[in-house]
Amino acid sequence: MSFKIKAALAGFLILFCIAFAVVESRQQQLQQQLDLFSEFYTMLDKNYVDTLNLPDLMKRSMRKTLGELDPYSNYYDAEETKKRDNDWKGILYAGIGSTVKQTDSGVVIVEPTEGLAAVKAGLRAGDLILEINHQNVQHLVLDSVIRRLKGNEGDSIQLTLQRPLKGVIHKAFKRENITSKAVPLYYLQNDSVGYILFAHFLSGSAKALKGAVVDLKTRGMKKLVLDMRGNNGGLVEECASALSIFFPPGKLVCSLRLKDSTANYSYKTSDTPVDTTLPIIILTDRHTISSGEIFAGCMKDFKRATLIGDRTYGKGFVQGTRFFKNGQTLYVTVARYYTPSGNFIGAKGVDPDIHHATADTLPAHLQAVINSGIISEYSIQYRNNRPDEGVFDGDISFNSFKSFYLSKLSAIKFPEESSIGDLDIYPSAKALKAEIKNRKQQLLTVYQKELETEIRKEILKRYYQFTKAGQIGFEQSGMHRFLSSHNYAW
């Protein structure tokens, strides 16, 4: 055997021994720490003054440990693991599909959700729930009523309701799984520009996005605004599938780098695209996170879309689920992800191509009117005063609303009113109250245009015209005005 071969073999053996020693040392260190924890746990149980709930203590210990590592890793018991399975599917619970609230009269329907059981059954905002499955619930608090409204998918439920201006009505239908919609809103503007609100990357989100894109293209879409502000991420697999809508197969989506570099891997598009040349604007903000950032970063890297808005959140880490023998799970950070150009998104996020602050804030006094519920209450009265089979033609009488508004002034609470009670001992307090009342009356003139928009949106919801209401909401936003004024899309 030659000297060079012998030297090479010797070098290899040395490296192997060093590697083995490092692994053995790591295993010994791990075992020492496990022995210490076992001793600690036994000592604590034996000496603590009260009887410990050992499973609960272990759960809290593991969660505290993971919380010290990063804000994303967590531990879930068997029951929580089952719930998380539904969470990844976007399933919230099985119920009627409407928000509700507590009032002095009882629990009231607030807003039925588009496409779900409450809308299909004809429930309306303002309906007071009298009975659930023939059991009187008017005396029950909100949580108790909600528990009775929820149940299993497909179970029958019968409601007796008091509808304002209409009287007692009865509705019988079946509970449905209430899911978080990936595409809560989409529509076509000016016969050529599509708008899609894209909320997350949970199971089925790519299919929902593809369906919206295909529908809008069928109707003549030539440009697309994809609103990903507030997109809270989800599954990387769904992100890759969603990108397949706009890229040919084989396009790099992102790279994942793990502790074990031999386990590094990449996601690529794999499905047949819908359109690889459609001009796209993506709206982002600080609440665009995780897979939302992967999507936006990939589209930016390949110059497939123009990003407008604010920098994204900056979550550049990927979590994986590891299963214990008894159904419990460890949800732990396992990798960093990088955009196709090699950028690590962690902390810094994805910068838009064009910066524009996206938050829409209303003047405090106008916001106080909206918070008062007067507009919602008026929309309920408007709807229930008209035939059940009627449709809303878009016309409203502001004079009618004005009379209703003036009869409800006490419901409006200006921010400055919170301190008036402390001033009642002063002679000027009465004049101050009169001035505030006068300001509330003047709002009808100062903000007539804005109030008419809010009234129209609320009435459209009463007629289940949610897409139209959402369209008005976006088209009255600062972002829409920015896009229009710069001729970016509209």
49-65 pLDDT, tens per residue?
Answer: 999 999 999 999 999 99
Residues 292 and 328 reside in one and the same domain: yes
Residue 40 lies in a domain: no
* 51-77 CB burial, b ≥16 within 10 A, e <16: eeeeeeeebeebeeebeeeeeebbbbb
Q: Give percent above pLDDT 90 in the chain.
A: 79
CATH assignment of the domain containing 295: 3.90.226.10
For 410, the domain range is: 364-485
Total number of domains constituting the chain: 3
Residues 458 and 379 reside in one and the same domain: yes
Question: Last residue of some domain: 179, 197, 214?
Answer: 179
Residue 87 lies in a domain: no
Residues 170 and 127 reside in one and the same domain: yes
Q: CA 31 to CA 21: how far, in whole Å?
A: 15
The pLDDT value recorded for residue 362 is 86
Residues 317 and 238 reside in one and the same domain: yes
CATH assignment of the domain containing 154: 2.30.42.10
- pLDDT at residue 112 above 70? yes
* Average pLDDT, integer, range 194-206: 97
* Average pLDDT, integer, range 363-371: 94
What the block records as the tokens of 360 is 């829409």
The pLDDT value recorded for residue 73 is 95
Are 94 and 153 in contact by the 8 Å Cβ rule? The answer is: yes
Are 229 and 196 in contact by the 8 Å Cβ rule? The answer is: no
- pLDDT at residue 431 above 90? no
- pLDDT at residue 263 above 70? yes
> Amino acid letter at 189?
Q
- pLDDT at residue 162 above 60? yes
Spatial CB neighbours of 279, under 8 Å, sequence gap ≥ 6: 222, 223, 224
Residues 214 and 343 reside in one and the same domain: yes
Q: CA 161 to CA 176: how far, in whole Å?
A: 20
The pLDDT value recorded for residue 430 is 79
Q: Report pLDDT digits (tens) over 125-140.
A: 999 999 999 999 999 9
Residue 79 lies in a domain: no
Q: Is 176 or 426 the better-scoring residue by pLDDT?
A: 176
Instruction: Quote the mean pLDDT of the chain.
Output: 91
- The confidence band for 42, taking pLDDT boundaries of 50, 70 and 90, is very high
Identify the bridge partners of residue 309 per DSSP, sorted by sequence position: 284, 355
Residues 290 and 342 reside in one and the same domain: yes
Spatial CB neighbours of 414, under 8 Å, sequence gap ≥ 6: 364, 365, 368, 436, 439, 440
Residues 229 and 320 reside in one and the same domain: yes
Residue 438 lies in a domain: yes
Q: CA 456 to CA 453: how far, in whole Å?
A: 5
The pLDDT value recorded for residue 88 is 82
Q: Give percent above pLDDT 70 in the chain.
A: 93
Question: Last residue of some domain: 179, 194, 221?
Answer: 179
Residue 49 lies in a domain: no
* Average pLDDT, integer, range 388-398: 86
Residues 174 and 232 reside in one and the same domain: no
The pLDDT value recorded for residue 109 is 97
* Average pLDDT, integer, range 406-413: 94
Residue 42 lies in a domain: no
* Average pLDDT, integer, range 323-329: 92
- The confidence band for 257, taking pLDDT boundaries of 50, 70 and 90, is very high
- The confidence band for 21, taking pLDDT boundaries of 50, 70 and 90, is low
Residues 260 and 199 reside in one and the same domain: yes
Residues 341 and 373 reside in one and the same domain: no
Residue 56 lies in a domain: no
Residue 60 lies in a domain: no
Residues 202 and 304 reside in one and the same domain: yes
Are 72 and 317 in contact by the 8 Å Cβ rule? The answer is: yes
Question: Last residue of some domain: 179, 196, 216?
Answer: 179
CA 6 to chain centre: 64
The pLDDT value recorded for residue 194 is 97
The pLDDT value recorded for residue 433 is 82
Spatial CB neighbours of 464, under 8 Å, sequence gap ≥ 6: 112, 114, 119
- Pick from 18-27, 153-162, 303-312: least confident: 18-27
- The confidence band for 333, taking pLDDT boundaries of 50, 70 and 90, is very high
Radius of gyration of the chain (CA): 29
Are 112 and 124 in contact by the 8 Å Cβ rule? The answer is: yes
- Predicted TM-score (pTM) of the model is 0.88
What the block records as the tokens of 11 is 């070098």
Which of helix, strand or coil describes residue 306? strand
Selection from 80-94, 366-380, 429-443 with the highest mean pLDDT? 366-380
Q: Report pLDDT digits (tens) over 3-19.
A: 555 555 555 555 545 54
Residues 303 and 440 reside in one and the same domain: no
